Structure 1
Amino acid sequence: MTKEQERARARRRHEEQQKSAKPPVGDSTRDKQVFGVILAVILIVAAVIVVPKIVGSSDSPAPAAGATTPASTATGTATSTPTSTGGLAAGQKLAAGCTAPPANQTTPKQQKEVPAKAAAAGKTFVATVKTTCGDLTFELDGAKAPQTVASFINLAKTGYWAPSPCHRVTTEGIYVLQCGDPTGTGQGGPGYTFGIENAPKDGKYATGVLAMARTSDPNSNGGQFFITYKETQLPTDGGGYTIFGKVTKGLDIVEKIAANKALPPSPADGTPVSPISILSVSVTEKKA
């Protein structure tokens, strides 16, 4: 084979290799690939941050919450409540006249049947609520909210709330202290639920009102309730929130807790800086 033939053969091999080789990535293509990788990373990070918030907000009980609804919403969910061994959580401090809270319950008493409202219908009751900051006295209106009052009496007699923290305070937009979940998470309930009674059509809740906390489901009333320590306007969507009584003594205690606001990161809505826990509840019928 001559040198000329060898050079020709080499050229043919080179041409064949060039045909089968992948073309080089141009600058514009490379830029698109890099941008795609960055975008994918951003989407993954966003999903990790946002999705838990969305999921959490759908499950938390909420009467008048966030800036617009009361009771255990995602922002109301207690993430810094006292530990299972009792005492203060990080950042908490006792208000004057208060003692350290006991441990939250891990397995509250559960019931399947809704208490019969006939037990409270047409009657008025007085509830004495002993707390770590002093006694509160409620007047319960069985004429306007017989199902709710019957449930409250039942939970008091069975010791459901002994003990349980007031796990949420709101200090902007709405003014409530929310209590009644023995676990302190804002997710606890007695095992049964019932519907709305005696909710104001205009959404106005006077100072000292005692009302039920619930989720967006109108039939989700259970064991959580809230106290308005200042006149509050709440949304009427979904039927509003059941008013079943009023505070007749001890509202100053609630005001004291609210004055110290909530723990960071949201001082306007969350776990109280100054803890207060229910130790026992007793109820007697008020005679005419």
Structure 2
Amino acid sequence: MTKEQERARARRRHEEQQKTAKPPVSDSTRDKQVFGVILAVILVIAAVIVVPKLIGSSDTPAAASANPSATPTAGATPTSKGGLVAGQKLAAGCTAPPANQANPKQQSTVPPKAEAAGKTFVATVKTTCGTITMELDGTKAPQTVASFLNLAKTGYWAPSPCHRLTTEGIYVLQCGDPTGSGEGGPGYQFGIENAPADGKYPRGVLAMARMQDPNSNGGQFFITYKETQLPTEGGGYTIFGKVTKGLDIVDKIAAGGLVTAGQPTPVNPISILSVSVTEKKA
């Protein structure tokens, strides 16, 4: 083989090697590749940790207005386990609240509205701060009043704290969750009745708290201690009665303010001890 042939064969071998060889990686390129791998690992870990928090629980209710901290909404309200929490103190004439219920009585069927339709009832609510008397309107809100009768009869609220107070723009004391968490319910839900079209709730009104879903009324209710304007989006809030005696008790609790600014827990605690209901005869 001549030298010319050897050189030609060598060139062909070199060309074949060049076709399959990978280009060399510079130090800067290699550093970028390593950084990319590390970043990808961090993003995967972050997704595992953060995404569930962003999605949240399907049971967590949303507020019914642009101001969820003030709107009477059933759900997501921190409170005590019974007794006094830091910053709380008893108002004059009040006794210490009992422990909240761990496992409130549950039902699966909405009580029939016929039990209350066309009738008026008087509810006597004994609390740790005195007795509050209410008149329930079964003509305008038969389903709500039928539910109230049922929960009173079964002792659902005995005991339960008034776990939420609002003092800015919206003036309500919210009660009716035996767990005190703001997330408790009787096991059934129903829709809105007798909600004012203008969103105005006079002083002393008895109305239902609910979640964003208009069919989420249950066992939580609120009392307005000043005239209050509430949002009408979603259907508003059911008015089913009024306080006829003992509104001064609610005034006293409201005057005590909140444990911490922006938090819903009243400084002066109040709990329901028992509820009894009788039909009001004409």
Indicate if the aligned counterparts of 2:75 and 2:184 stay in contact, CA closer than 8 A. Answer: no
Distance 1:178 1:202 in 2: 21
Indicate if the aligned counterparts of 1:207 and 1:232 stay in contact, CA closer than 8 A. Answer: yes
User: Residue type matched to 1:224 in 2?
Assistant: Q
Task: Name the CA shift for 1:111/1:57 in 2 (closer, same or farther; >3 Å).
Answer: closer
Q: Which residue of 2 aligns with 1:222?
A: 218
Task: Name the CA shift for 1:54/1:101 in 2 (closer, same or farther; >3 Å).
Answer: farther
Match of residue 256, structure 1, among 252, 259, 271: 252
Q: Radius of gyration: which is bigger?
A: 2
1:268: how far off?
Answer: 3.9
Distance 1:276 1:63 in 2: 25
Percent pairwise identity: 70
Task: Name the CA shift for 1:73/1:223 in 2 (closer, same or farther; >3 Å).
Answer: closer
Indicate if the aligned counterparts of 2:170 and 2:229 stay in contact, CA closer than 8 A. Answer: yes
Q: Which residue of 2 aligns with 1:177?
A: 173
1:272: how far off?
Answer: 1.6
Task: Name the CA shift for 1:204/1:54 in 2 (closer, same or farther; >3 Å).
Answer: farther
Task: Name the CA shift for 1:52/1:225 in 2 (closer, same or farther; >3 Å).
Answer: farther
Is 1:280 matched up with 2:274?
Answer: yes
Distance 1:57 1:242 in 2: 25
Distance 1:54 1:201 in 2: 34
Task: Name the CA shift for 1:269/1:53 in 2 (closer, same or farther; >3 Å).
Answer: farther
1:66: how far off?
Answer: 2.5
Indicate if the aligned counterparts of 1:62 and 1:213 stay in contact, CA closer than 8 A. Answer: no
1:182: how far off?
Answer: 0.5
Task: Name the CA shift for 1:231/1:54 in 2 (closer, same or farther; >3 Å).
Answer: farther
User: Residue type matched to 1:142 in 2?
Assistant: G
Q: What do the CA deviations read for 1:198-232 (whole angstroms, capped 9, x no partner)?
A: 00001111111100011111111110001111111
Q: What do the CA deviations read for 1:126-173 (whole angstroms, capped 9, x no partner)?
A: 101000111111110011001101110110011000000111111112
Match of residue 162, structure 1, among 149, 158, 162: 158
Task: Name the CA shift for 1:135/1:56 in 2 (closer, same or farther; >3 Å).
Answer: farther
Distance 1:63 1:247 in 2: 25
Task: Name the CA shift for 1:157/1:228 in 2 (closer, same or farther; >3 Å).
Answer: same
Q: Which residue of 1 aligns with 2:28?
A: 25
Q: What do the CA deviations read for 1:79-110 (whole angstroms, capped 9, x no partner)?
A: x31x2xx3112222111211111011011111
Task: Name the CA shift for 1:118/1:132 in 2 (closer, same or farther; >3 Å).
Answer: same
Trace 1:117-196 onto structure 2 (pairs within 5 A). 117-196=113-192
1:285: how far off?
Answer: 1.0
Task: Name the CA shift for 1:95/1:159 in 2 (closer, same or farther; >3 Å).
Answer: same
Q: Which residue of 1 aligns with 2:73?
A: 71
Indicate if the aligned counterparts of 2:70 and 2:168 stay in contact, CA closer than 8 A. Answer: no
Task: Name the CA shift for 1:274/1:60 in 2 (closer, same or farther; >3 Å).
Answer: farther
Q: Which residue of 2 aligns with 1:199?
A: 195
| TM-score normalised by structure 2 residue count | 0.81
Q: What do the CA deviations read for 1:44-79 (whole angstroms, capped 9, x no partner)?
A: 59x85x9748737972376786256212354xx12x
RMSD: 3.2
Q: Which residue of 1 aligns with 2:98?
A: 102
| TM-score normalised by structure 1 residue count | 0.79
User: Residue type matched to 1:285 in 2?
Assistant: E
Distance 1:123 1:147 in 2: 12
Trace 1:228-247 onto structure 2 (pairs within 5 A). 228-247=224-243
Distance 1:207 1:285 in 2: 24
1:20: how far off?
Answer: 7.7
Task: Name the CA shift for 1:62/1:162 in 2 (closer, same or farther; >3 Å).
Answer: farther
Q: Which residue of 1 aligns with 2:61?
A: 60
1:271: how far off?
Answer: 1.7
Aligned positions, number: 261
- For the residue of structure 2 that corresponds to 1:25, the secondary structure is helix
Q: Which residue of 2 aligns with 1:7?
A: none
Distance 1:253 1:70 in 2: 19
Task: Name the CA shift for 1:58/1:191 in 2 (closer, same or farther; >3 Å).
Answer: closer
Structure 1 gap segments, 5+ residues each: 1-18
Distance 1:129 1:111 in 2: 22
User: Residue type matched to 1:112 in 2?
Assistant: S
1:40: how far off?
Answer: 6.0
Indicate if the aligned counterparts of 1:61 and 1:187 stay in contact, CA closer than 8 A. Answer: no
Indicate if the aligned counterparts of 1:172 and 1:269 stay in contact, CA closer than 8 A. Answer: no
